[in-house]
Each structure stands twice: as C-alpha cells, then as structure tokens.
Amino acid sequence: METFSLQDHTALVTGSSQGIGLAIAQGIHDAGARLIYHGKEDPAPEMPEGSDWLVEDLLDPAGPERLIKAAFAAQPELDLLVCNAGGFFDVPFLEVEPEVWDRTMNLNVKANYFVAQAFARELAERGRTGSIVLTCSTNGFQSEDDTTAYDTSKGALVMMTRTLAQALAPQSIRVNAIAPGLIRTTLNASMRTDEIEAHYNKKILLGRLGESEDCAGAVVFLLSEAAKYITGQILVVDGGLTVGQIARM
C-alpha cells in the first residue's frame, strides 16, 4: 500500500547509533524516507547514501535546540521526528542518589520534550505539518524490580505522548509512541541471563524476546499516511508480554 510509504519525507531519529534507534532508522529508510541519524559521540553507524550524522549531547540543556537547528540545516525538508534517545541508570530504590534521578529524567523526559518542542517550532515557522513518534516502554505502565527512576520516566513519556498530541493538533502535527517490551539491546544485556530469558520466553505469548527490528514497522506505520487519523496513541510492541498474567508452565 502506498499509504505506508515514507517517500518524499525526511526523518530525524535521535539515539540512532545502535539498538532500537538504529533499527528504526533503517526501517524508515526502507520505507523511502531520507534519514538524519543522531548519537552523542562519533563514530557514525553504517548509514544509507544521502543520510546525515549529527553528534549532540542531549543532557546539555542547549542540546535539543542545537540538534534540531543542525538537522534542519542539513536537510531543510525534515518533517518526521522519532524521539528515541534514552538511558537506564537505575540501582535499587534505597540506593538511588539525586544524580541518578536527575540523569534519568533529564535524558528520558526533559530532552525528548524539548527536542519535540524545537522540532514543532521549526515546522510552525515553515508552515509545515509533520509527525512525531516517542519511544516509551512497557515500563511506563508496568513496574519492574530496581527500575524506579526508569519506570517513572517512561510513565512520563506515556503522558507526554498524549499531551503533546493535544498541544500540536491545531498545527496538524500528529504525536504517537511505541512501547517496546523486552527487546535485546546493549541496554539490558547484563540482565539477560539464560534463566531470565527462559522465564520471559514462557511469559511472552509469541515465545521469544524481541529484536530491535521488531520495533521498526510500528514506527513506520505511525509516521505514515496509513496512520493519518491516529494521534495520542501508544502502540505496544512486546510480543504479548503484558497481555497474560501468569507465564506458561
């Protein structure tokens, strides 16, 4: 279907040097869009021809606006944004220091909020519509051991999706999100023991952990004309992890 195509669009994917962000960027490229990749440091990942690579630290308060300015300078037709950058810094709750809390909230919540704001401002100045997708998590509505700051930040992104959708609707900018479940990434590699994987393979209805590529199609759909009447929604990509209460025996 042509409505799923992103031909003639340009997308910025934050945090796209590896993992879910890199897979999302590749999926957007496969759907026909031009790409701007982003990471906090060099080197750049392997990118399709015609793509751009931008380095910016989103923990710097001025980072979000600098990134968006650089993105529009690199590809002025930019009209799609995936706010994927984030991190996990948790320790058990009684050991969490203010620095851990601040780092988590500043990267996972504040940076995404102001990247989206700077993007929307640029579109408004150009009289252009667009679409934003945030990377939330199933941790945004189901808690997990020793992830209190991370869970709280992802819960904030769930509401950010809805409130930005309402704020930007008059500008015809749609805002949606994906909520990945347990996806194999470097972020959770140290927590994926054979025992834990075996447990989750029984709990996940589709019988396996997700791969980064499993998130790409959902983002392409939400950015595309196929989702032109969808805004403020969170699409869960978890293989059925959050559907059942009890794992199979």
Residue 71: per-residue pLDDT: 98
Residue 245 within any structural domain of the chain? no
Residue 62 within any structural domain of the chain? yes
Residue 249 within any structural domain of the chain? no
Does 189 score more than 90 pLDDT? no
Does 249 score more than 80 pLDDT? no
Joined tokens for residue 190: 């140290």
Joined tokens for residue 247: 């794992």
Q: What is the pLDDT of residues 76-102, one digit of tens each?
A: 999 999 999 999 999 999 999 999 999
Does 246 score more than 70 pLDDT? yes
Residue 190: per-residue pLDDT: 67
Range of the domain at 181: 2-237
Residue 191: per-residue pLDDT: 66
Joined tokens for residue 14: 């934050």
Joined tokens for residue 227: 């989702």
Would the pTM count as exceeding 0.85?
A: yes
Does 115 score more than 70 pLDDT? yes
Residue 10 within any structural domain of the chain? yes
Residue 242 within any structural domain of the chain? no
Count the Cβ atoms, other than its own, within 10 Å of residue 237.
Answer: 22
Give the confidence band of 186 by pLDDT, cuts at 50, 70, 90.
confident
For the domain that residue 172 is a member of, what is the CATH number? Answer: 3.40.50.720
* Number of compact structural domains in the chain: 1
Q: What is the mean pLDDT of the chain?
A: 95
- Asked about 150 being catalytic, the answer comes back as yes
Averaged pLDDT for residues 196-219: 93
Span of 44-48, 71-75, 129-133 with lowest mean pLDDT: 44-48
Residue 246 within any structural domain of the chain? no
How many residues does this entry show for the chain? Answer: 249
Averaged pLDDT for residues 28-49: 96
User: Which helix (DSSP H) or strand (DSSP E) does residue 149 occupy?
Assistant: helix 148-168
Residue 129 within any structural domain of the chain? yes
Catalytic residue among 37, 113, 150, 200: 150
Residue 247 within any structural domain of the chain? no
